[in-house]
Amino acid sequence: MRDAAPQGTYKVQALDRAFAVLDLLGESETPLGLAQVAASLQLHKSTAHRFLMVLERHRMVERTANGKFRLGLRLFDFGNRAIEQYDLRDRAQPHLRRLVAETEETAHLALLEAARVIYIDKIEPTRSVRMITRIGASNPVHCTSVGKAILAFLPPERASEILKRVRFERMTTRTIATPEALRAELEKTRRRGYAVDDEELEEGLRCIAVPVLDAQRLPVAAVSVSGPSFRVTAQKLPTIANHLLQCVRGISMDMGYVPAGRGARTALSA
Amino acid sequence: MRDAAPQGTYKVQALDRAFAVLDLLGESETPLGLAQVAASLQLHKSTAHRFLMVLERHRMVERTANGKFRLGLRLFDFGNRAIEQYDLRDRAQPHLRRLVAETEETAHLALLEAARVIYIDKIEPTRSVRMITRIGASNPVHCTSVGKAILAFLPPERASEILKRVRFERMTTRTIATPEALRAELEKTRRRGYAVDDEELEEGLRCIAVPVLDAQRLPVAAVSVSGPSFRVTAQKLPTIANHLLQCVRGISMDMGYVPAGRGARTALSA
DNA sequence: ACGCGCGTCCCATCATGTGAGAACCTAGGA
DNA sequence: TCCTAGGTTCTCACATGATGGGACGCGCGT
């Protein structure tokens, strides 16, 4: 096969193809027909058809009224089982709600995975423009407050391991573009106690984040507050950060974290 | 292969096996080791290993610190893409929030799939015992208020098509057990305008639901309010139903539904 | 030390999935 | 009306790709 198949050594053609189908359907805004799928993936019609049928049997895809294919709800089921195992999300929700009530801005809960952050929950204030983020979506670490918050408080060796894998894509003019700059920023984050994303991911969007710690006092996630730069002003940052810290302390303690004794320096010390 | 492979005509062994692996990991509370997976699925160690590696490459599974496997976050991503296509959930959230504030009980948003309902969102009142339901989980139609709400207002032919596939599992002593009883109940639901589940799914749990209609005035989902029977009393039902109706009208209109003209009888008429 | 369970890896074998083709259907456009 | 495009369902010969036996090495408990 002339398949792109990068470095991954183990291969099961059928699986790669099946996931390619799911990927395709996931990317596409609109449901796709058999022919489109076959063409996009360079599969023979009959091959693509077989895959689609099997996927449908497993309810990984389903058909719309006009016979086109889209992702199936089984995936939704799986997805929820997947995060259930970190039951962070359920525990965090009430705290996030309070945070949103206090700040009147959108709050996100995100996990670190490889060199990206994945948003696992989002709470929006009642009256606010809908933010574009999608639960389940991901962004690079280097241009998000949550990414920086987690990275800053990870043990140095794990942090640099991740740093090595960052590709420093440029999202806006302010996006951090070099490893050195990022390291400096992380140091700043540590001193300040919270991470800031000042329009580094998206013009006009400012975010501030603090890590959630587990029983080992290691960051497992982060919570951020995001809003338009004109509302989330530099003056307000400390206030918001305070709310954030309280929120995150609550979540962390729900997760089994015990505050450090006197003198110990951790992400959540006052 | 002596694989259980039921009636499904199209087959791709590798895919069936891969999904069996995911299923297994999804069912299991705790991460599993290679040997456990191989044993449970009657696969050769090396076969299971290959699958796991490929799945890991696709981030459909991931490994814990001690090398065991669990579902990966990619599934979470896929799952969220899957429901995104019905963007019902996002639109519904604010309405559900209001509903929960008004009733002080848990609200669910559910879709119909085959002869089951899938919960796609859940909002709980701030101070309440956590309900056991999991977003993404599913239940049979015949013993849930959401199921009955949707079924009752579906066009007769689609409804009976689904009715045929109901297996009438008995969940409690009050669970509806025959097609006739269910048909009668649906008729009652239509007249009343809302569906009730009176401890038919779970002892001590009472729910009430109303369908969400789309632009074609067809039910695409349902919203329910659930709570312990001692709080959700018969007297309160009409009040709750009113809140529900208002909520669902809001969601339906957000989805492009236009209220019926005078005289027309639909699920959402006063 | 040894044995055991577990994960990893290699490789000869052949069952499996593959893709070409062809027939048939349906809906929609010219 | 015919014609085209897309989808569904066959069959079949082939070789590729998945399979599982088995070997290796590690860490652990005894």
Tens digit of each residue's pLDDT (9 = 90 or more) over A137-195: 889 999 999 999 999 999 888 898 899 889 999 999 999 999 999 999 999 999 999 99
Q: A31 with A93, same domain?
A: no
Q: A193 with A93, same domain?
A: yes
Determine if strand D comes within 7 Å of the CB of A44: no
Closest CA to B224 of B114, B120, B88: B120
Closest CA to A176 of A205, A150, A145, A153: A145
pLDDT range class, residue A6, cuts 50, 70, 90: very low
Q: A140 with A218, same domain?
A: yes
- pLDDT at position B6: 37
**Which residues have CB under 8 Å from A238's CB, separation 6+?**
none
- pLDDT at position B3: 33
- pLDDT at position B229: 92
Whole-Å CA distances, B140 to B37, B65, B120, B174, B175:
29, 37, 15, 15, 11
Tally of helices (H runs) and strands (E runs) in chain B = 9, 8
Task: Tell whether B107 is covered by a domain.
Answer: yes
**Which residues have CB under 8 Å from B251's CB, separation 6+?**
B88, B91, B92, B95, B212, B223
Does the structure show a pLDDT above 90 at A83?
Answer: no
Determine if strand D comes within 7 Å of the CB of A125: no
Query: Which of B78, B110, B134 finishes a domain?
Result: B78
Determine if strand D comes within 7 Å of the CB of A65: no
What backbone torsions phi and psi does residue B134 show, to the nearest 5 degrees?
Answer: -120, 135
d(CA A173, CA A204) in angstroms, rounded, equals: 11
Query: Which CATH number characterizes residue B154's domain?
Result: 3.30.450.40
**Which residues have CB under 8 Å from A35's CB, separation 6+?**
A45
Task: Tell whether A167 is covered by a domain.
Answer: yes
Does the structure show a pLDDT above 50 at A237?
Answer: yes
Q: A145 with A247, same domain?
A: yes
In contact, B268 and B252? CB cutoff 8 Å = yes
In total, how many domains does chain B have? 2
Nucleotides of D strand lying within 7 Å of any protein CB atom = 5-11, 16-23
Q: B153 with B58, same domain?
A: no
Name A213's bridge partners: A219
Q: A186 with A212, same domain?
A: yes
d(CA A154, CA A211) in angstroms, rounded, equals: 10
Task: Tell whether B185 is covered by a domain.
Answer: yes
- CA of B32, C1' of C4: distance in angstroms: 19
Task: Tell whether A93 is covered by a domain.
Answer: yes
Residue-wise pLDDT for A108-124, tens only, equals 999 988 889 999 889 88
Does the structure show a pLDDT above 80 at A255?
Answer: no
pLDDT range class, residue A246, cuts 50, 70, 90: very high
Output the CA torsion sign for A221, B75, B120, B23: negative
Q: A67 with A131, same domain?
A: no
Q: Which residue pairs from B9-15 have beta carbons closer than 8 angstroms and sit at least 24 positions apart in sequence?
A: B9/A53, B10/A50, B10/A53, B10/A54, B10/A57, B11/A54, B12/A14, B12/A18, B12/A50, B12/A51, B12/A54, B14/A12, B14/A14, B14/A15, B15/A14, B15/A15, B15/A18, B15/A51, B15/A54, B15/A55, B15/A58
- CA of A20, C1' of D2: distance in angstroms: 39
**Which residues have CB under 8 Å from A210's CB, separation 6+?**
A149, A193, A194, A195, A222, A223, A241, A244, A245, A247, A248, A267, A268
Q: A199 with A143, same domain?
A: yes
d(CA B125, CA A44) in angstroms, rounded, equals: 52
- B13, two tokens: 């062994």
- pLDDT at position A265: 58
Interchain proximity A75–B75, CB inside 8 Å: yes
Burial class (CB in 10 A: 0-12, 13-18, 19+), A117: buried
Instruction: Please give the protein residue whose CA is closest to the C1' of the nucleotide C16.
Output: B13
Question: For residue A123, what are the domain limits?
Answer: 86-254
Share of chain A above pLDDT 90, in %: 49
Query: Which of A78, A102, A130 finishes a domain?
Result: A78
| pLDDT values of chain B reduced to their tens digit, one per residue, 270 residues | 333 333 357 888 889 899 999 999 998 878 899 989 999 998 899 889 989 999 998 999 988 878 889 999 899 989 888 887 677 887 888 899 999 999 999 999 999 888 899 998 888 887 666 676 788 888 999 999 999 999 999 988 889 888 988 999 999 999 999 999 999 999 999 999 999 999 999 999 999 999 999 877 889 899 999 999 999 999 999 999 999 999 999 998 887 787 766 555 566 764
Q: A69 with A123, same domain?
A: no
Query: Which CATH number characterizes residue A23's domain?
Result: 1.10.10.10
Buried/exposed code over B70-97 (b: 16+ C-beta within 10 A; e: otherwise): bbbbbbbbbbbbbbbbbebbbbbbbbbb
Q: B123 with B167, same domain?
A: yes
Determine if strand D comes within 7 Å of the CB of B17: yes
∠ Cα A149 A111 B18 (to 5°): 155
- A197, two tokens: 């994303």
Task: Work out the minimum CA distance from B57 to partner chain A, whole angstroms.
Answer: 7
Q: B32 with B99, same domain?
A: no
In contact, B220 and B118? CB cutoff 8 Å = no
In contact, A168 and A142? CB cutoff 8 Å = yes
- Kindly report the number of other CB atoms within 10 A of residue B179's CB atom: 14
Q: Give the mutation candidate from B10, B76, B86, B111 for the A interface (greatest A CB count, under 10 A).
A: B76
Closest CA to A142 of A174, A109, A106, A120: A174
What radius of gyration do chain A's Cα atoms show? 21
Task: Tell whether A21 is covered by a domain.
Answer: yes
Query: Which of B78, B98, B119 finishes a domain?
Result: B78
- pLDDT at position A2: 32
Task: Tell whether A2 is covered by a domain.
Answer: no
Q: B36 with B104, same domain?
A: no
Q: Give the mutation candidate from A11, A80, A214 for the B interface (greatest B CB count, under 10 A).
A: A80
- CA of A191, C1' of D16: distance in angstroms: 58
- pLDDT at position A129: 65
